[in-house]
Structure 1
Amino acid sequence: MKRYLQTIVIALSVMGLFSGAAVAAGGPKTAKVNSLVKKDAIKLINIAGKQRMLSQRIAKDYLYIGKHVAVDKAKKQLAASLKEFKANQAKLAEMINDPEIKNLLEFVNMSLSELEGIVKKPFSLDNAQLVLDLSESMLEGSQYVVDSLKKLANIKESKIIATAGKQRMLAQRIAKYYIAYQAGIKDKNTIDQMKAAVKEFDQNQKVLMNNKDNTASINQKLAQVEKLWKIVYKFYLNIEKGGLPFIVFTTTDDITKKMDQITKLYVQLYNSK
């Protein structure tokens, strides 16, 4: 995934949207946020974090439609995801006034605009590959915003919220690469990205379950995710065998929904402190 971030940084440098100092540092500068307080930071981290998930879900839905699996669900989800992504981008642009972050948000919007045009076209492997690449650019840009806000907030709680929010993205990423392989993009990168997402989800799940601040409600919902995860993660790893695209669609959506509920509970928990 790092190569996509490098591509974004280079593109922004050429466009004059990214300062040389930031490029040299190789990471986000401290963002300036309008009247930022702890509650604002936590809210923004959740919004930016959800953009990561939506970037993957948009691509996944396009691939499922092209593969003629769960078409009605995928079409409705695709339309809703595009609408929510745009609304979230507007919220982030309104609340963040750091020039570099705002310009990166604009770059993500450019990628979204291009992707939106492609998903309206008939399915083809070339279009599918473009959708995958654009979803990676949108993911990297959104991750950069999350990392910038975590650095700015400088509160330990932001890491847990970001981790819980990332689980939403990883679930959709798993489904994206699973169906990409079944749709004909059968390269090593597809398999590697799929397995890496499964591994990271598993690691993050352990971090969340061991978080000492968890409430009884959070632990209950994490236990539900863990029970489902133990059953289905082996299905995901059998990407080359295939044959279970509908199960992957429904279970990853279920996990995403549960992780969204958990992330919101973390936001409530840490905003009340």
Structure 2
Amino acid sequence: MKKNIFTIKLTVTLFLLVIMLPATELIAQQSNTFGMLNFNKAVNVSGKQRMLSQKIAKAYLYIVENPSDVKAKRDLLTSKIIFEKQNNILLQNSGYKLTKDRIAKVESLWKEYKKLIETTPNYDNAKKLIEINTDLLKSTNNVVSAIILESKGANSSNADVMDDDSYGEDDTELKKIINISGRQRMLSQRLALYYFANQPTLKDKNSEQMLKNVYNELDGAISMLLISNFNNNRIDEKLGVAMSKWDQIKSRKSDLFNQKIKQADMYRLSNELTKAFNDVTNLYEKVKL
């Protein structure tokens, strides 16, 4: 009799474990973190991948014309290493199929990209980079979008969030502003990339318009940051630094479009502007709701 009771209890226990397993997996998948990272950090890191894709191409194009520039060579090497490491971190921490698939797509495109940038910089491969860099950029941007979507799913499954709709809305808006600010880092590098791509030795029919498009995108997004509800004194201060760096380029708009800025100056300014927007983005990442 006791044996039968034990058997029944064991059967019931196993049954409960089986039916609870899918729910446990669902909760794990909908955790309010991106693996070991919080979602703000994940949006920031994935956004950096966009920037690095452009910084790598920019450095390569610059070295073609300036083969003895040690800093540019170091930038190319370190950016390549960081890009690969961060892509692995994102892949290891994601629990969503959509995000993993998009990271895998980045990895696939990266293989061809990496082959080009590991060659001794030359005009033929520089032109190929100009042709394919946007594909890698779009793919990295798709990862950012997937992570933001993943964070929405995590928020909607969180009981505390369900009790306060405004929290979920604010959290989504915060991730949007982290994304916009992080995108400015990418545009800062992309501006220099197409400045170099617009030189006579590399220029094609699209180079000039691409340069203008990037300029307008970068300039247009600044106002969105300036009026953000998430701004505080520290963020306002760093935005002021970014604005001063941007004004150094904006005040020379005509020179920018007519190839009258020295290449070394353009290279330096793009890095300074990227750093300024990176400081802003890191502060947005740390905003507490």
Q: Is the TM-score greater than 0.5?
A: yes
List aligned pairs for 1:68-83, cutoff 5 A: 68=66, 71-83=69-81
Q: In the aligned structure 1, how far is the partner of 2:29 from the partner of 2:126?
A: 36
- Amino acid across the alignment from 2:70: D
Superposed CA RMSD in Å reads 2.1
Change (3 A) 1:33 1:223: farther
Give yes or no for contact 2:47–2:179 (8 Å, CA) kept in 1. yes
Match of 1:230 in 2: 247
**AA paired with 2:137?**
L
Give the direction of change, closer, same or farther, for the CA distance of 1:50–1:170 in structure 2 (3 Å limit). same
Alignment of 1:1-273 (within 5 A): 35-37=31-33, 40-68=38-66, 71-154=69-152, 155-182=172-199, 184-235=201-252, 238-269=256-287, 272-273=288-289
CA-CA distance at 1:153 after TM superposition:
2.7
Quickly say closer, same or farther: Cα 1:260–1:206, change in 2 above 3 A: same
Matched AA of 1:198:
Y
Distance in 2 (alpha carbons) for counterparts of 1:101 and 1:225: 31
Deviations 1:111-150 (A, max 9, x none): 2222222122233332112222332222111111111222
- Native 8 Å contact 2:57 2:193 kept in 1: yes
Task: Tell which structure's C-alpha radius of gyration is larger.
Answer: 2
Amino acid at match of 1:108: V
Aligned-partner Cα distance in 2 for 1:41–1:181: 37
What is the CA distance between 1:183 and its match in structure 2?
A: 6.1
User: How far apart are the structure 2 equivalents of 1:33 and 1:239?
Assistant: 48
One-letter amino acid matched to 1:110:
S
| Offset of residue 234 of structure 1 | 4.6
Structure 1 residue 192: Cα displacement: 1.4
User: Structure 1 residue 230: deviation in Å?
Assistant: 1.8
Distance in 1 (CA, whole Å) between partners of 2:178 and 2:120 is: 38
Could you tell me how far apart the structure 1 residues matched to 2:30 and 2:61 are?
38
In structure 2, relative to structure 1, the CA distance for the partners of 1:157 and 1:185 (3 Å cut) is same
Q: Contact (CA 8 Å) 2:50, 2:141: kept in 1 or not?
A: yes
Contiguous gaps of at least 5 residues in structure 2: 1-27, 153-171
Structure 1 portions without partners, runs of 5+? 1-31
Q: Given that residues 57 and 81 in structure 1 are in contact (C-alpha distance below 8 angstroms), is that contact kept between their aligned partners in structure 2?
A: yes
The whole-number CA distance in structure 1 between the counterparts of 2:174 and 2:68 is 37
The alpha-carbon deviation at position 46 of structure 1 amounts to 0.6
Give a deviation string over 1:146-173, Cα, whole Å, max 9, x none. 1122233341111100001000000000
Q: Give the ranges of 4+ consecutive aligned residues of structure 1 lying more than 4 Å apart after TM superposition.
A: none
Q: Distance in 2 between matches of 1:146 and 1:81?
A: 19
State the alpha-carbon separation in 2 of the partners of residues 168 and 100 from structure 1: 25
* CA distance, structure 1, for counterparts of residue 129 and residue 143 of structure 2: 21
Superposed CA deviations along residues 241-260 of structure 1, whole A, max 9, x for unmatched, are: 34421111111100101111
Q: Do 1:172 and 1:256's aligned partners in 2 also have CA atoms closer than 8 Å?
A: yes
Match of 2:160 in 1: none
* Residue-by-residue CA offset, 1:90-131 (whole Å, 9 max, x unaligned): 111011133343232222112222222212223333211222
* % same residue: 28
Q: Do the aligned residues in 2 keep the contact of 1:112 with 1:134 (CA within 8 Å)?
A: no
